[in-house]
Amino acid sequence: MASKAPPVTGHPRGGTRVRMVGPGHTFATVTDKIASLVLTTKTPLGWFLGFAAAFSLLNLLLVAVGYLLIKGTGIWGINIPVGWALAIVNFVWWIGIGHAGTLISAILLLLRQQWRTSINRFAEAMTLFAVACAGMFPIIHMGRPWVGAYWLMPYPNTMGLWPNFRSPLIWDVFAVSTYATVSLLFWLVGLIPDLATLRDRAQNRTAKIVYGMLAMGWRGSARHWSNYETAYLLLAGLSTPLVVSVHTVVSFDFAIAQLPGWHATIFPPYFVAGAIYAGFAMVLTLAIPLRKAYGLEDFITLKHLENMGTVLLATSLIVVYGYTMEAFMAWYSGTTYERFMIWNRMFGPYGWSYWALLFCNLLTPQLMWFRRFRTSVGWLFTVAMVVNVGMWLERFVIVVTSLHRDFLPSSWGLYTPTFWDWATFAGTLGLFLTLFFLFIRVLPAISIFEMRTILPGADLEEKA
């Protein structure tokens, strides 16, 4: 299968374009291949197995959250001083994963990176589902979310209370809810022309009606394309600063506190880079099995995977710069508490998590310097999995090791996750994967209309 890599007819910098799609494809073959994944009546057995596993985990989430709502957050291992633990670690991990989807769909669109085209749709779906998982955590962390809404959402309530806008937690509500809404809009707008394709290709009457309603009457009119392309480009332009703002605001949740290990000015850029890093690892984690299972090697080529490996390397270096600066500033500040914080991170009770983090995020991505590893699907998948773990550990290190020993030794403590902590996390993996399995079954996982634009047949100059 690896032999199906796109033909490279010259050095990329020499001016010859590398086609980001396998040879021999036309408008018709691309349309039929991607649409057939959805419109087929034969669902692959592997889909059922994967869905069953994911759905089981989703039910675990139901139990874990149900029990939490009955008993309260005491079922988790949290207590003072570690009042924020796995729930916040998971929140930041999930929201970070989402960022790659927006980067691919918006920033790479503005930068005219052709290779984004075959991965943007499912990366955007990944964003939405990751944000859904992330958004759950702060809400269930309140223990009784039904009484907690008034200090998060500005709405006229019977108590006459309004949120404190000087708190970064409120900024988070605005940033994350805007991000979720705009990501959903971007994804839905991108789907409209493809839904029309599915409407026109569906044999089944119900499918025709459902896709027809969702397509809203799209017919590819030039007048519509004019408005559509303008709106799409503007959405990309709006999403670009938005995505940077979201993880910046998430980092403010920490950076604005005075706790050693949190109170650092490097947090915003370091969090944004970490988010893109984590997100690309997750895109690789999803793309590699997806292209294999559905035979999409012509569309998600080895070149795509290699590019993602390069992004992984670049962002890992930024993240490592963040780690270095944290350690340097702790020493350079001359503050006892800062110096102790970094020493405690390395050699304290949770020291193992710091070294594991360095193994995952500093050492492992260095393999991506070598073409041999960047072009090996197995290695890419392995590195991506290690990075997924590494980025989870990064947030664990930031949240838990900073909190557990602050200024006063008399208020130190330890935190151990309980079964319910892990069950909630595993449960959100189930929610994410369940949504993803449903998505690849009922919607085109690759943007069909955008794929048409990068085909050789769409090149008017070559014809003329």
Partner 1 sequence: MSRPDLHGLLAEFLAPADLVRAAHAVHAAGYRKVDAYTPYPMEEVLEALDLHHSHVPKLVLAGGLFGLAAGWGLQYWASVVEYPMNIGGRPFNAWPVFVVPSFETTVLFAALAAVFGMLALNGFPQPYHPVFNVPTFAAATRDRFFLCVEAEDPKFDRATTRAFLQGLGAADVQEVAP
- Least Å distance, CB 272 to partner 1, is 15
Short-list 59, 57, 65, CA closest to 136: 65
Instruction: Count the Cβ atoms, other than its own, within 10 Å of residue 177.
Output: 14
Judged by CB under 8 A, the number of residues near partner 1 is: 67
CB of 245 or CB of 366, closer to partner 1 = 245
Q: How far is the CB of 179 from partner 1 (least distance, A)?
A: 8
Nearer to partner 1, 47 or 225 (CB): 225
**At closest approach, how far in Å is the CB of 338 from partner 1?**
23
Nearer to partner 1, 218 or 392 (CB): 218
Binding to partner 1 (CB under 8 A) within 304-333 occurs at none
CA gap 124, 101 in Å, rounded: 5
Residue (186 or 323) nearer to partner 1, CB: 186
> According to CB under 8 A, which one of 43, 227, 335, 411 is a site residue for partner 1?
227
Smallest gap, in angstroms, from Cβ of residue 464 to partner 1? 6
**According to CB under 8 A, which residues from 40 to 79 bind partner 1?**
none
Q: Is 457 in the site for partner 1 (CB under 8 A)?
A: yes
CA-to-CA distance for 153 and 170, rounded, in angstroms?
Answer: 8
Say whether residue 112 binds partner 1 (CB under 8 A): no
Using CB under 8 A as the binding rule, the residues of this chain from 232 to 261 that contact partner 1 are 234-235, 238-239, 241-242, 245, 249, 252
- Interaction of residue 271 with partner 1, rule CB under 8 A: no
Tracing tokens 């799609």 back to the chain, one arrives at 21
Question: What minimum distance in Å lies between the beta carbon of 235 and partner 1?
Answer: 5
Q: How far is the CB of 155 from partner 1 (least distance, A)?
A: 11
Distance CA 119, CA 121 (A): 6
Binding of residue 114 to partner 1 (CB under 8 A): no
- Please identify, using beta-carbon distances, which residue of 84 and 171 lies nearer to partner 1: 171
End-to-end CA distance of the chain: 34
Integer Cα distance of 329 and 270 in angstroms: 14
DSSP letters for 97-162:
HHHHHHIIIIIHHHTT-GGGTTTHHHHHHHHHHHHHHHHHHHHHHTSSHHHHGGGTS----TT---
Separation of alpha carbons 176 and 434, rounded Å: 22
Residues 119-178 within binding reach of partner 1 (CB under 8 A): 154, 160-166, 168, 170-171, 174-175, 178
Amino acid residing at 194: D
Q: Are 460 and 122 in contact (CB under 8 A)?
A: no
Stretch that binds partner 1, among 60-68, 209-217, 331-339, 436-444 (CB under 8 A): 209-217
In order of 104, 170, 220, 252, 254, the CA distances from 167 in angstroms are 31, 6, 47, 10, 11
Distances (CA, A) of 432 to 166, 300, 340: 33, 22, 38
Q: Which stretch binds partner 1 (CB under 8 A): 2-10, 137-145, 226-234, 436-444?
A: 226-234
* One residue of 213, 346, 363, 442 binding partner 1 per CB under 8 A: 213
Rounded Cα gap, residues 101 and 116, in angstroms: 10
- Start-end of H helices in 408-464: 419-442, 448-453, 460-463
In the complex, least distance from residue 180 CB atom to partner 1, rounded to whole angstroms? 10
Q: Which two tokens stand for residue 435?
A: 């949504």
Contact between 205 and partner 1 (CB under 8 A)? no
Please give the residue ranges that form the binding site for partner 1 (CB under 8 A).
Answer: 26-28, 31-32, 154, 160-166, 168, 170-171, 174-175, 178, 181-182, 185-186, 188-189, 193, 196-197, 199-201, 212-213, 216-231, 234-235, 238-239, 241-242, 245, 249, 252, 449-450, 452-453, 457-458, 460, 463-464
